[in-house]
Amino acid sequence: MTKRLFWLNGIAILAVVLNHAVGWGFTAMFWWTDRYRDVAVPNFDAVGSPTYYILVVLKQLTPIAVPIFLVVSGYFIGFASRAGLNWKMIWARLKSILIPYLIWSVVTMGLDMAFGTQISPLQFVVNLLSGNASQIYYYVPLISQLFVLSLVLVPLVRSENWKKVLAAAAILQAIMLATNYLDIFNVFGDFSLDVDWFFGNLAFF
């Protein structure tokens, strides 16, 4: 089973790389068109082309990476908890990811401010808590929340109420997915519930 989980992790890592490659593919297709064609940018002539649809399909498939990472992390937490789950165990895991996360978040925001970006003290703290120092940092606050919640979740899942816990997690997941579509239609105005760092992906953990 462990070998299969490592394979899943490998697939997820490749999906992350491919997801970012697809993003640059769209950038090259629409915003760098003038580098290989005599046109003004942005240029959307490629919309509807086979390459465009291939990128769209890949863009829809590659976000599976985060749920896979959560599944694997949840499995190992559950496995480790057989001998008893306690705060000391969770804190050891948290330290291994939070210390480098905090260091690089501070470095990233420091460089941003050095190049002219205005970041207030409040925004600085918010960025640290939500992973907004960089677009790719949101996963650390997300998995940290789930590690802490595992102190409550693991005993519940091992109890006779596990079906209720799973149903509640599925409902939370559905709500978070629904908010993504509501944001498209600007239902909440300037307030957005589309937050990657929130533990709405609980069902996968």
pLDDT, tens only, 87-120: 888 898 899 999 999 999 999 999 999 998 899 9
Same domain (yes/no): 73, 91: no
Same domain (yes/no): 183, 169: yes
Same domain (yes/no): 163, 94: yes
Token pair 């985060």 is at which residue?
66
Same domain (yes/no): 99, 51: no
How far is the C-alpha of 49 from the C-alpha of 57, rounded, in Å? 13
What pLDDT is stored for residue 125 in this prediction? 92
Same domain (yes/no): 133, 76: no
| Beta carbons within 8 Å of 55's beta carbon, 6+ residues apart | 22, 25, 26, 29
Among 53, 72, 55, CA closest to 13: 72
Where would I find the beta strands (DSSP E) of the chain? none
- Among 88-97, 117-126, 167-176, whose mean pLDDT is lowest? 167-176
Residue 100, Cβ density class (10 Å: 0-12 exposed, 13-18 middle, ≥19 buried): exposed
pTM summary value? 0.75
What pLDDT is stored for residue 114 in this prediction? 93
How far is the C-alpha of 91 from the C-alpha of 83, rounded, in Å? 16
What pLDDT is stored for residue 187 in this prediction? 60
Same domain (yes/no): 114, 201: yes
What pLDDT is stored for residue 203 in this prediction? 56
Point out the domain boundary residue: 83, 108, 134.
Answer: 83
Token pair 């490998």 is at which residue?
10
Half-sphere exposure of 65 (CA within 13 A, CB side): 18
Same domain (yes/no): 96, 189: yes
What pLDDT is stored for residue 104 in this prediction? 95
Same domain (yes/no): 74, 96: no
Q: For residues 82 and 53, is the Cβ–Cβ distance under 8 A? A: no
Same domain (yes/no): 108, 10: no
Same domain (yes/no): 38, 92: no
What pLDDT is stored for residue 75 in this prediction? 83
How far is the C-alpha of 70 from the C-alpha of 13, rounded, in Å? 13
Point out the domain boundary residue: 83, 113, 134.
Answer: 83
Domain count, the chain: 2
Point out the domain boundary residue: 20, 54, 83.
Answer: 83
Residues 44-68, mean pLDDT to the nearest whole number: 91
Q: For residues 28 and 37, is the Cβ–Cβ distance under 8 A? A: no
Same domain (yes/no): 90, 17: no
pLDDT digits (tens, 9 = 90+) for 7-20: 988 999 999 999 99
How far is the C-alpha of 125 from the C-alpha of 132, rounded, in Å? 10
Q: Which domain holds residue 72?
A: 1-83
